[in-house]
Every structure is written in structure tokens, then in C-alpha cells.
Structure 1
Amino acid sequence: MSEEILINVTPRETRVAVVENGMMQEVYLERASRRGYVGNVYKGRVQRVMPGMQAAFVDIGLERAAFLHASDIVRPAVSAGNGNGDGAPAQSNGNGGTPPISGLVHEGQEIVVQVIRDPISSKGARLSAHLSIPSRYLVLLPYAKTLGVSVRIEDEDERQRLKETLGSLIGEDPLGYIVRTNAEGQSATALAFDVTYLGKVWRVVQENIASSKVGERVYEELSLPLRALRDLLHEGIEKVRVDSRETYDKVCKFVHKFMPELDERIEHYDGERPIFDLYGAEDEIQRALRREVPLKSGGHLVVDQTEAMTTIDVNTGAYLGSRNLEETVYRTNLEAAQAAARQLRLRNLGGIIIIDFIDMVDEEHKRQVLRTLEKALARDHAKTTVYPMSALGLVEMTRKRTTKSLEYQLCEPCPVCNGRGTLKTPETVTYEIFREITRAVRQFDAEKLMVLASPVVVDRILEEESVGVAELEEFIGKTITFQAEDHYAQERFDVVLL
């Protein structure tokens, strides 16, 4: 398996692609206008203490003072067996257990805090004194002697294995750790790598805290290129190609510091062709925004993303096969299983996913298709759970949602159909206009009426509905005129009383 990471950097946008055997499997993007502060750690100074709100306002060098609640200063005890998700700060239980804010901080006090919510509108950022620094499989909690496992890892044997493995790795380390969800099934070697990485990061943060002034950032959540290397770079990656000299230098320093054994994998790309054109990545992104995905056999997938779930429908299309119908369906479903797994990664689809395979009679064929799907999903960095195929040929599965899907990041709802994907026909709009005219005449007094609508609707009314218009004028006793407006969408119209 040949695997590479491509990093494309422009002044306002950075993109990272994961390529396996010459085909793009995943793509991530970050835009300068949307980079927030969440995850950053600052040395701040308490400006005001508000006992009535159980909160304080802290200057961390941003435009507005940030908000720090008492429950984000005192952490209730976390048992070593339970953990706390993926390292989110524990909150007060609301039963009066949190001490008064005035007893925790005072005006003018210096305090090290982490941003847990970006500034919104007129509100400043929200802070926490419970620092957490993530790696690929672990979260470091430097101020909490905790050894926890994410509650999303449900298998008790696996939870115990991870807990014992981490315990043997950290020994008497006074720092706290939580095992993240995607550590499920990982080896002791992988966890040891993260323990070493987090230890180095925390030492750097401590040095920064000691030397920094109030309002200065002492830890910044990694930018996309470095975050991608932290989470994606492993022994199986042959090359990391970066098309920006400045970013290449940063990547080299990062890898040399935390993953020196992979130094030689980093390469600066200075070719004439754009780096994303090397493996047709630009075309793949455009195809990933389409509803239909063609299969090599002639069949195709239809991907529909809704609020509740994502559905993937498998169709044979032009593929007829060379044997019988069952064999044709089986071959199509096998190819579709691999293609569906790839589309989930490429489009970054999460939540509930339903795959509607073509009905198969042979039980062994069903098992093989399910195995193919599970095998294809094994390389997915997001946690997936696949359930048995139903009698209708449906496979229910879930995929952990980490960020917005590719479509939601790159696109917005159509202003004409408001994201429905369909428009009312001119005939439907015509009859809505007739009903609106009747309603307006009953409510208001006017000599005549004018209807403003799109040209296609007005043309239809004047040509195919002329008799209907005459009957309506006779029924309401008013004159109706129609005016075409080129800038009106097909569904838009206005009834004006004159």
C-alpha cells in the first residue's frame, strides 16, 4: 500500500490530502478567515471578579476580555476508571459544590487558561483553567492526576487493556491522561509514541509559561499541516509533499522535534504543476460534491446527505454482467462496498449512514459484501460501526463526526430552492398565484391587480392558462395584468393591488 500526504498552501487557505495507491482518500481544509482560538492556551490576568455570576473576566490579549466561570477553575474528581470523553473539561454538578469565585481568583491575579469557545458576536471567548493537550490517541491533563478511557469505547476488555497499557507506560508520571476514542485497538507502541510526544509538548508549554508576559499565547493548537502530521503521519506514509517553502520549514522542524525517525519522509514540492493536480485531487474534490458516483463496472452510487442521516443507494446502471443476475448483483455490490467506504472518507460524512445494496438471495454473497465493506473501512481514521445487513439489503452504520462534511465546508444551500434540490413547476406556481389573487380580493378592496412573476411562469399563464385567467377575472370582478420580471426565481411572485 503506497500512501502519501499532500499539503497545498495558499495565503488564505490550506488543504491536506491523503493519497493511497495514487487515489485521494481524504481531504482536509482550513481557511485563514475561520481559524479560531479554541485549544489555545494563554497567560492571562483577572480584570474583574463577578460574585453574582460566579465568574471572572480575564485579559488574554484578545479584543474583548474573556469569560471564566468558577466551574471551569475547580475540577470535580474524575475516577480513574471512567474518564471524561475525549478530554473535555469536567463541569460542576450544579449542587453547590463549586466554591465562590471570590475564593478562587482575585483581581490582578495571573492565571494560565485555555480557550474552550471562540468569541461570538459581542461576547468574549470562554475560558477554562483545566488545560488539555491532545495527541492522536491521548489527551494530556497536566493539572489532573487522572487515568481515564473515553466512555465511547464500550468494550470492557478493550477499556481494561488500554488502561493497563497506559498505566504501565506512564508509571509514576504525575500528569493525567485520557485515552481517546480512536485509540481503540491500538498497540502499546502507538500509545508510547503519544506519551513521549505529549511529554515533550508539555515541557515546551511550561517553558513558555515561565518566560511569557500577560496576554501572550503559551500554546497554540496546531495549524492544519502540523495537526495532519500529528494525527496521520505514521511508518506507512512514504512521502509528505509540501508546496510552500515556509510551511515546509515549519513541518521539518515539527517532525524533527517530535518524530525524528520520519525526517526523511518530508519533501518540498516545487514542480510546475499544482501539487493537487499530481493525482487528480482537484477533480476528485469536484466529483465528491456531486450526488452520483460512477462505478467502473457501469453501475453507480447515489449519495444523499440529509439532516438526520446520509443514504447511499447502489444501482447496477448499464452493468449487465456475463453470467446470471445474482452474479451481476453480487459483483456490483462488492465494488459498491469499496466505493462507499472511500466516499465516506473523502466527503467526511458522519453520523448515521444507510447503504442500500441491491437485493441478494445468496446468504454467502451478503456476508462477503459486508466483509468487503468492513475491510475497506478498516483504514478509516474515524471510528465506524457496521451492523448486519437487513432483509431488505440495507446496511446501517455509524461514522464518528469530527468536523463538517466536505459539502458543508465548500457549499451553501441554493438560494433558489433553499437547499431542497427541486423547484415547483410553472403549473404549480400558476395555481398558487390564482389562489393568492382570490385571497387578496377577499381581504382588500382594489380596482385591478398586477402579478409580478418569472418569465417562464408569465408565459405559461398567458399561453396555456388564458381561459383560466378570463374565468378568474369574471369570478372576482377585477382586471388582472401580468408582468414578467427577469430577476425573479421560478417560485417567486408578487400580487400587487392597484
Structure 2
Amino acid sequence: MSEEILINVTPRETRVALIENGMLQEVYVERTSKRGYFGNVYKGRVQRVMPGMQAAFVEIGQERAAFLHASDILRKPDAELEGADVQPSVVPPINELVHEGQDIIVQVIKDPIGSKGARLTTHLSLPSRYLVLLASSKTVGVSARIEDEAERARLRDAVLMMEPEREHGYIVRTNAEGLPAESLADDVAYLKRVWRAVSARFQNARVGDCVYEDLSLPLRSVRDLMRANIEKVRIDSRETFERTLKFVNQFMPTMVDRIEHYPGERPIFDLYGVEDEIQRALKKEVPLKSGGHLIVDQTEAMTTVDVNTGGFLGTRNLEETVYRTNLEAAQAVARQLRVRNIGGIIIIDFIDMVDEEHKRQVLRQLEKALARDHAKTTVYDMSPLGLVEMTRKRTTESLERQLCEPCPACIGRGSLKTAETVCYEIFREITRAVRQFDCEKLLVLAAPKVVSRILDEESAAVAELEEFIKKTIRFQSEDQYPQEQYDVVLL
């Protein structure tokens, strides 16, 4: 499978696209005014301790206080846990772990999303090309994506031999598969230098200061996404290209020849069709080649994906048609979750199938398609109603939340009150107003569609209302008013 990374840079925005076999699979956006906080380390101060929530709110210099749960607070060193890779199962009360006014070093593990502040941990980790340093641990682990047991053992032993008396723990990343021990040793030395710098900065920092900031999006993407099957990294900015080339020369010299500057006149995202794919990813409906379609609906609590056959009738029986549509939908859903960067709880409503083997095959197809996802996913068995519950790790806002805002007309509801409904609201408001205040006549300001309906279909109702309140009502159309807005003015 051929893959490419495209990096589009403008003065205020950087975008990165991962292309697999000519199709967009993932897109990342970073704006100068809204750089993400994920991975950053701060000197914080505990503002409030909430025993009922087993959590504390921590000031880290952001608009909203960040959230720190008791389970994310470092407790007993794992040397005392006989080398276990987990914290004790019983979490002590939060007020035994932190107190108000306490200075604390914390790392952002989830960006602020919606009305929620960032989520924090005191289990600090610093990533490099091939390793992740675990500041408060001494264990050595290997990425679950490396499946060969012999290779896992080799990598683990290589790290253990480098530091028999370890100060920190390490996780060997997927990118390290097949690499010599020398490459890992270079990363260990680099991470130790970074950690010493972070520790020194923390001592002199003020509350809210960032003592460690992750790499910029282009360098972070190259570090995290660069694999053996990445054929090219194309960058349309000369400055970013040179900076990336320097970074790759230092940390992955064998891949220098894959970094290219794109000097073309045509925008690089247009050339690969990425702009069109981004626009399609902002729509609810996703067409399938078979004629069916998906409906993707993001809400605050979860995301639902509905699978429909549409005009696809198939050439055999109904069960075969449904099975084929669900198989195609399983692949499409996995891709849409990546492109849209949807996380949290996801419910997929597949079309009902009778055959148990068909259900297993559809679930297997979904799991297979999700295997290439960089975010951690967990898929549960299909329910009797054909629903599949799954989770996808969320660290940043989805593509839609990054690029869009709630519609000012419907305030994010996705629907508007009809002109008829607004008319009757106006009539009720008029009745309410004349009972409370004295006036000779009334002026109603409303959207053109609403005024048009009042003067046409509702003219008889207006006459009855004027007779009832013994007042004259005049209506004025306001082009700037959205459909639901109106004002009743007493004259």
C-alpha cells in the first residue's frame, strides 16, 4: 500500500493530509491562533478540589481551568509495585493526593473540547521518533502494534541493556520495528536531555507557564506518521521544507530522500483532491459506491452512523443486498472516522441481517478497516438490533468542530421553527403585551417569510386578533432578521 504525506502551509494555518492509495485517510489542522495543547507540560496550581467528583481543577494559564482526575495523579512509585505496569487498583480520595494552592507539574492528555477544559495527568511522557519516555515509571513496554513476539522481546531487551539502572521507563513505538539498537540509544539520549531541560524549567517557572511544548504540526506529523511505506512527504513551503529536512537529517537520516519541496502553481491539496474530500467530510451524508449511503450525526454525547441501502436493490435476494451494503459500509465508516477525526462513543446502525455468519463477517471487516487507524479503537459485538458500539480515543476536536461553528439561525439544532409556528408565537406575544401595557397600536418586525405568511394565509387570524384586542397591528418586513426572530413594538 503506497502512502504519501502532504503538508500545506500558509501564514496562519498549517494542514497535513495522509494519503493512502490516492485517497485521503487523515487530515490535521493547526492554526496560529488556536494551537492545540495536547502533549504540553505546564506548571499548574490546584484551584479547587472536588471530593464528590474525585477530581481537581487546575490553573494552567488557559481560559478555563483544566480537569485532573484522581486516577491520573501519580501515587506510589512502580518500583514498589513489583515492576507492575499499572497503578494500584484502589484510587485514594482526591484530597489525600492534592490540596488547594498546591503547585504541580501536569501534562495535557486531551485538548479543551466544547465547554470542557483540558484534561490533565501527572504521569508525564515525552515522545521521540522511536520511544516514549515515561518520567514517573521504570517499566519498559512495546507497542501492541508490533505483533511478532521475537521482535518485541528483542526491542525490549535492547532498551533494558542500555540502562540497567533506569531513571525512567520507556515505551517502544511501532516505528522502531526492525531497527538496530543504536537508533534506540540515540533516542534514549535525546529524551534524557529533553527531560533534564523540562525539570530545570519547572523549577524557575511561574504558574501557567508551559515548560515543554510538542513539535509543530509538520515536524510532529513526520515524527509520528513516517513509516517504511511512506513514499513521499511533499511540502509546499520552502521554509517548512528546509526545517523538516534538517529534522529528518538529525533523527531519521535514511528517509531524507523522501522529503520533497512542492513548487507547483496549483495548490497541493487541489492537486490530490484533498480540498473536495474535506468539504465532503463536513456533510452528514456519505454516498456508497453501491448506491447506499451513510448518515453521520455528531452530538455532544456520542456520534451515530446510520447505514441505508438507498437505491441499491442488488441482483440476488434481500439478505445478500443487505450483507453487501453492510460490508461496504464497514470500510466506509472506518475511513470516515479517521478523516473526520471523530472520537468518543460511536454507535453504528447497520442494516438488520438474519444470517449470523454475515454479522460476523461485517464486524470482522470493520475491525480490519480500523486496524490502520492511528487512534486506539475498541469494537464490541453487534447487538440484536444490528447496532455496533465502539470507542475511538479522542485527544483533539473533530474536523467539523475545528472548521465549523453552530448555525446562528438554528443555534446548532439543525432545524428552524416554521413560519407558521413563528406567526402563532407573535400572536401570543401581542396578546401578552396588550394585557400588560397600554398602547394605541402595535408594530411587528419579523423576517420577510413570516410577514408574508401573516398578510396572506393568516390575514383572517390577524383581523380576529385586532377585533379581540381593539388595537391596530402593523407588520414590517426586516430582511436582516432570521426566521425565528421578531419584535413586538408598542406605539
What range is the shorter-chain TM-score in? 0.7 to 0.9
Q: Distance in 2 between matches of 1:284 and 1:445?
A: 59
How many pairs align?
A: 450
Distance 2:101 2:488 in 1: 62
Aligned pairs for 1:259-274 (under 5 A) are: 259-274=252-267
The equivalent residue for 1:122 is none
Local SS of the residue matching 1:380: coil
Conserved? CA contact 1:162–1:179, under 8 Å: no
Judge conservation of contact 2:131–2:187 (CA < 8 Å) in 1.
no
Distance 1:324 1:207, change over 3 A: closer
How many Å separate the matches in 2 of 1:346 and 1:100?
42
Q: 1:363 to 1:113 in 2, by over 3 A?
A: closer
Paired position in structure 2 for 1:24: 24
> How far apart are the structure 2 equivalents of 1:373 and 1:288?
19
Q: Is residue 488 of structure 1 aligned with residue 481 of structure 2?
A: yes
1-structure distance, mates of 2:175, 2:13: 33
**Residues 24, 277 of structure 2: 8 Å contact kept:** yes
Which amino acid in structure 2 is aligned with residue 353 of structure 1? Answer: I
Change (3 A) 1:315 1:8: same
Query: Is 2:150 the partner of 1:147?
Result: no
Tell me, yes or no, if the aligned pair for 2:466 and 2:472 is still in contact at 8 Å. yes
Per-residue Cα deviation, 1:57-82 (whole angstroms, up to 9, x for no partner): xxx9x99xxx9xxx9xx964332425
2:296 corresponds in structure 1 to 303
1:352 counterpart = 2:345: yes
Alignment CA distance shift 1:354-1:430 (3 Å): same
1:175-194 aligned at under 5 Å gives the runs 175-177=167-169, 179=171
Asked if residue 78 in structure 1 is aligned to residue 77 in structure 2, the reply is yes
How do 1:3-22 residues align onto structure 2 when only pairs under 5 Å count?
A: 3-22=3-22
**Contact 1:83 1:148 survives alignment (8 Å):** no
AA aligned opposite 1:78: P
Q: 1:259 deviation in Å?
A: 1.9
- Is the contact made by 2:129 and 2:175 (CA closer than 8 Å) also made in structure 1? no
Q: TM-score, normalised by structure 1?
A: 0.77
- Matched residue of 2:480: which SS? coil
Counting aligned pairs with the same residue, the percent is: 63
SS at structure 2 position matched to 1:19: strand
SS at match of 2:286: strand
Where structure 1 has 5 or more consecutive residues not aligned to the other structure, the ranges are: 54-59, 105-111, 120-124
1:201 aligns with 2:191: yes
Q: 1:239-258: CA deviations, max 9, x gaps?
A: 11111121112212222222
- 1:21-60 equivalence runs, <5 A: 21-35=21-35, 39=39
C-alpha change, 1:20 and 1:372, in structure 2 (3 Å) is same
The question of whether the paired residues in 2 share the 8 Å contact of 1:40 and 1:115 is answered with yes
Q: Note the residue ranges of structure 2 that are not aligned, 5 or more in a row.
A: 50-59, 113-117
Moved more, 90-99 or 346-355: 90-99
Q: CA deviation at 1:126?
A: 13
1: CA distance, partners of 2:177 / 2:23: 31
Please show how residues 133-144 of structure 1 align to structure 2 within 5 Å. Answer: 133-135=126-128, 139-142=132-135, 144=136
Q: Alpha carbon RMSD of aligned pairs, Å?
A: 4.4
Cα 1:255–1:114 change in 2 (3 A) is farther
Aligned-partner SS, 1:376: helix
- The answer for the alignment partner of 2:390 in structure 1 is 397
- Over 3 Å counting, the alpha-carbon distance change for 1:327 and 1:162 in structure 2 is same
Residue among 328, 331, 352 paired with 1:338: 331
AA aligned opposite 2:356: E
Give the drift of 1:163: 11
Looking at structure 2, the residues matched to 98 and 275 of structure 1 have their Cα atoms a distance apart, in angstroms, of: 52
Match of 1:257 among 241, 250, 253: 250
Post-superposition offset of 1:300 = 1.0
Alpha-carbon distance between aligned partners in 2 of 1:28 and 1:306, rounded to the nearest angstrom: 21
Q: How far did residue 278 of structure 1 move?
A: 2.7
Asked whether the 8 Å contact 1:24–1:281 carries over to 2, the reply is yes
Structure 2-normalised TM-score? 0.78
CA distance in 2, matches of 1:130, 1:381: 21
Aligned partners of 1:200 and 1:258 also within 8 Å: no
Looking at structure 2, the residues matched to 472 and 397 of structure 1 have their Cα atoms a distance apart, in angstroms, of 55
Deviates more, 1:33-42 or 1:471-480: 33-42
Cα distance in 2 between the residues matched to 1:429 and 1:275: 47
- Preserved CA contact (<8 Å) 2:107 2:123: no
Once the two structures are superposed, the pairs formed by residues 234-249 of structure 1 within 5 Å of their partners are: 234-249=227-242
Per-residue CA deviation, residues 408-451 of structure 1 (Å, 9 max, x unaligned), is 00000000110111111100111111111112222222222221
Q: Deviations over 1:133-164 (max 9, x none)?
A: 1347854244x4532879xx9xxxx9xx9899
- Local SS of the residue matching 2:424: helix
Is the partner of 1:30 in helix, strand or coil? strand
In structure 1, distance between residues paired with 2:101 and 2:476: 68
